[in-house]
A and B are shown apart, each in its own frame.
Chain A
Amino acid sequence: MAKDLTRKQVEHVAELAHIGLTEKEIEKFREQLSAILDFVSKLEEVDTSKTKALSQTTGLKNVFRQDIVKPSFTQEQALMNAPDQYKGYFKVKAVFK
C-alpha cells in the first residue's frame, strides 16, 4: 500500500509539472492524490515477473515516409494564436535576470 504523500512531495511534483499551486490546493491535492495512488497500488498484487511491458497494440514497425519538404504553416498561421509576438517571432519573457 502506498504511503500518503507529504506536502513536500506534492510541491516537488508540481514543480516538475510546472504548475503553480496555492496553499489550499497543496493540501487538497495531497489528500486526493494520496487516495488515488493508494487505489492504483492495487497493481502490486499482480505477479508480473515474467511479463513484458506492452509497448503497442498495432504490430506496426518502422513507419517511414520520404524525407521530402511539403508545404506547411506560413509564419502568419504559426503565429496566429501567439499570446505575444514581435516582428514575426514568438516573444518570450527573459530567461536570465
Chain B
Amino acid sequence: MMDLSDLTIKQALQGLKEKKFSARELVLASLERIERFDQDISAFLTVCKESALKKADEADKLIAQGKANPLTGIPYSAKDVFSVKGVKTTASSKILENYIAPYDATSIRKLKGAGAILIGKTNHDPFGFGSSTENSDFKITKNPWNKNKVPGGSSGGSAAAVASGMGIFSLAEDTGGSIRQPACFCGVTGIKVTYGRVSRFGVIAYGSSLDTIGVITKTVEDATILLKEIGGRDENDATTLNEPVPDYLKTIDQGIKNLRIGVPKEYFIKGINKEVEASIKKAIKEFEKLGAKIEPVSLPYTKYAIPAYYLSGISEVSANLARYDGIRFGYSQKDAKDLKSLYFESRAKGFGPEVKRRIMLGTYALSAGYYDAFYKKAQQVRNLIKQDFDKVFEKVDILIAPVSPFPAFDIGEKAQDPLQMWLADIFTVTINPAGIPGLAIPCGFTSDNLPIGLQLIGPRLSEPILFKAGHAFQKITDWHKSKPNLK
C-alpha cells in the first residue's frame, strides 16, 4: 500500500471519500513522519499532535455523516508567522518565543472552516528575513534532499515539511521569494499570489506592501484547490481585492495552445549554474511541445530590483517591527531601570542580528536627509520595474524564468555575509514590488540530485493562466513526483 503521507490533496480527498483510509490514519501518517524524521530535518517549531488527532476524529465523523467540507481531514502545516488561536506563534524570533496568538489569521480561519487540520508550525528565517532559514533564532532546517544543504528561505521549514510528507501542504508567505525559492530548493510547488488576493490579517508583518500569502504543495492542482479556499476579500485587510475568486481547478485542464510565453534575457545572466540553465531551457522546449509560442523579451530594470525591493522592504520593516516594545507582548527585559531602557534592552536581546540589521537600515533609509535618496528613489524605481512588466505583458501572456540562479547551497556557505544572502533572491524579488503572481514548479535535478525549479510569472490576477501552464507541464513531466530519501 502507498504511504499515506506521500498523497496529494486530490488523492487524499478521493481516498477519504471512498473510505480507503480514515482522516485519523491520514493525520497519523504525517505525525509519524515528523516523529521519525524531524529530529533530523528540523522543519517544525511546534507540533500540534493532540489537537490534530482530535480534529481528525471529528473529521471522520463528518465524513461518515456525509457532511465533509472541501478540505475535511487534510493535514497541513503553517509557517510560524500565522496567528493560530491558542498556539505559539513565534515568527522564529526570540522576541516572540512565548507568544500565544489570541486569534486566528483569516487564512487559518478559512482553512479551519474548510476542514483542513493543522499539524504544526514550521521554522523559517525570523519575520521572513533571509533566504536559507539559517537566521531562525531556534533551529537550522535541513534540506531533505541533502542534509548538508539549506532548504531555502524564508519558508524553509514549510518547503522541507511538504517535501518530506509532513503534512500534505503548507501555508506560507512570500515577500521577495519566501515561498518560491524554498519550494525550488526542496523540489515542490509554490504559488506567490497577486498582492491583495489573500488576506494578510493575522500574519506577522514583514513589508506590508510586498507581503503575500500563498501555499507550498506537491502539485499545481493542489495549489488551485487551496487558493480557492483562502482567497478573497476580507474586511480586516483593506488591501484585499474585490475581484471574485475563480474556481481555478475547473480551468487547469484547458491546455496552453498558442499561449505566448516570454523568456526574459535578464534572467539568464552570466554566473547562473549551467545545470539550472540547461533544465530551464529543456522545460521551455516542453512548453513549446504543449503548443506555447516562445518569445525572447527584455525587462531592462531587472538589475535594480534587488536594491529597490530591499529598500522598500526594510523601510516597512522598521515601521512594522516598532510594535515590539516589551510591554504588550513579547520578550521583556524585566530588570530594566526605566521605560526607555526597557525598549532598548528588550529589543537588543529579543532580536537576532539580521532583524537588527534590517530595522536599522530601514530606519536609516527613512530618516531625515536620506528619505529622498533611498526610500523615495526605491519607490520610483519600483514604478519603473512595474512598467517593465506592464509593457512586456502587452506582448506575451506569461514569462518563464529560473527561480534561483543556483540549487540549494551548503549550510553555512552564505551565513556570514548578509549581502551575499540578499543576492540569493535575485530572480524572485523582482515580482513582489510589482504585485504580480509567480508559480514555482520543479523542472529537473542537478547531477548531485538537488532539485531545480522554474517560475512562471504573469500579470495581476493571472493565477488561472499560471496554474493552467504549470499543470500542463506537470502532466507531461515527473519532476514533481520525485521524493527525497529520508533515511
A-B interaction: yes
Cβ contact within 8 Å between A19 and B356: yes
21 inter-chain pairs at a CB distance below 8 angstroms, sorted by A residue, are: A19-B347, A20-B341, A21-B356, A32-B357, A32-B418, A40-B307, A40-B311, A43-B307, A46-B380, A54-B382, A57-B195, A57-B196, A57-B435, A58-B196, A80-B102, A82-B329, A83-B329, A83-B330, A93-B339, A93-B342, A97-B338
Residue of B nearest to A83 (CB): B332
Cβ contact within 8 Å between A63 and B418: no
- Assess A82 versus B357: contact at CB under 8 Å? Given A43-B377, A46-B381, A55-B379: no
Report the minimum CB–CB distance from A9 to chain B (whole Å).
8
Cβ contact within 8 Å between B357 and A56: no
Residue of A nearest to B197 (CB): A58
Report the interface size for chain B: residues with CB under 8 A from the other chain: 71
- Assess A20 versus B102: contact at CB under 8 Å? Given A33-B361, A40-B311, A58-B195: no
Q: How large is the interface on A (under 10, 10 to 19, 20 to 34, 35 or more residues)?
A: 35 or more
Report the minimum CB–CB distance from B460 to chain A (whole Å).
7
Residues of B within 8 A of A42 (CB): 303-304, 307
Residues of A within 8 A of B328 (CB): 81-82, 90
In the complex the two chains form, what is the Cα distance from A17 to B321 in whole Å? 9
Residues of B within 8 A of A58 (CB): 195-196, 239, 241, 435
Cβ contact within 8 Å between B344 and A19: yes
Residues of A within 8 A of B103 (CB): 73, 77
Residues of B within 8 A of A36 (CB): 310, 357, 361, 418-419, 422
Residue of B nearest to A10 (CB): B360
Whether, in the assembled complex, B343 has its beta carbon less than 8 Å from a beta carbon of chain A, the answer is: yes
Whether, in the assembled complex, A69 has its beta carbon less than 8 Å from a beta carbon of chain B, the answer is: no
In the complex the two chains form, what is the Cα distance from A19 to B140 in whole Å? 25
**DSSP majority for the B interface?**
helix
A-B contact count (CB 8 A): 169
Cβ contact within 8 Å between A46 and B304: yes
- Assess A81 versus B367: contact at CB under 8 Å? Given A20-B347, A37-B361: no
In the complex the two chains form, what is the Cα distance from A93 to B327 in whole Å? 9
Cβ contact within 8 Å between A84 and B332: yes
Cβ contact within 8 Å between B380 and A51: yes
Pick the 8 closest A-B CB pairs, nearest first: A57-B435, A83-B332, A81-B329, A53-B379, A20-B348, A20-B344, A48-B380, A54-B383
Q: In the complex, which of the residues B98, B327, B361 contacts A92, with contact meaning CB atoms closer than 8 Å?
A: B327
Cβ contact within 8 Å between A94 and B363: no
Identify the B interface with A (CB < 8 A). Answer: 98-100, 102-103, 195-196, 209, 235, 238-239, 241-242, 301, 303-304, 307-308, 310-311, 318, 322, 326-332, 334, 336-345, 347-348, 351, 356-357, 359-361, 363-364, 367, 373-374, 376-384, 386, 418-419, 422, 433-436, 460
In the complex the two chains form, what is the Cα distance from A75 to B352 in whole Å? 31
Cβ contact within 8 Å between A54 and B386: yes
Add 18 more A-B contacts to A19-B351, A60-B241 (CB < 8 A). Answer: A18-B343, A36-B419, A37-B364, A40-B307, A40-B310, A43-B377, A46-B384, A48-B384, A51-B380, A51-B384, A52-B380, A54-B433, A58-B435, A63-B239, A80-B100, A81-B100, A92-B342, A93-B336
In the complex the two chains form, what is the Cα distance from A82 to B348 in whole Å? 19
Report the minimum CB–CB distance from B483 to chain A (whole Å).
37
Whether, in the assembled complex, A1 has its beta carbon less than 8 Å from a beta carbon of chain B, the answer is: no
Residue-wise interface mask of A (15-42) relative to B, using a CB-CB cutoff of 8 A (1 in contact, 0 not): 0111111000100010011011101111
Report the minimum CB–CB distance from A28 to chain B (whole Å).
8
Report the minimum CB–CB distance from A77 to chain B (whole Å).
5
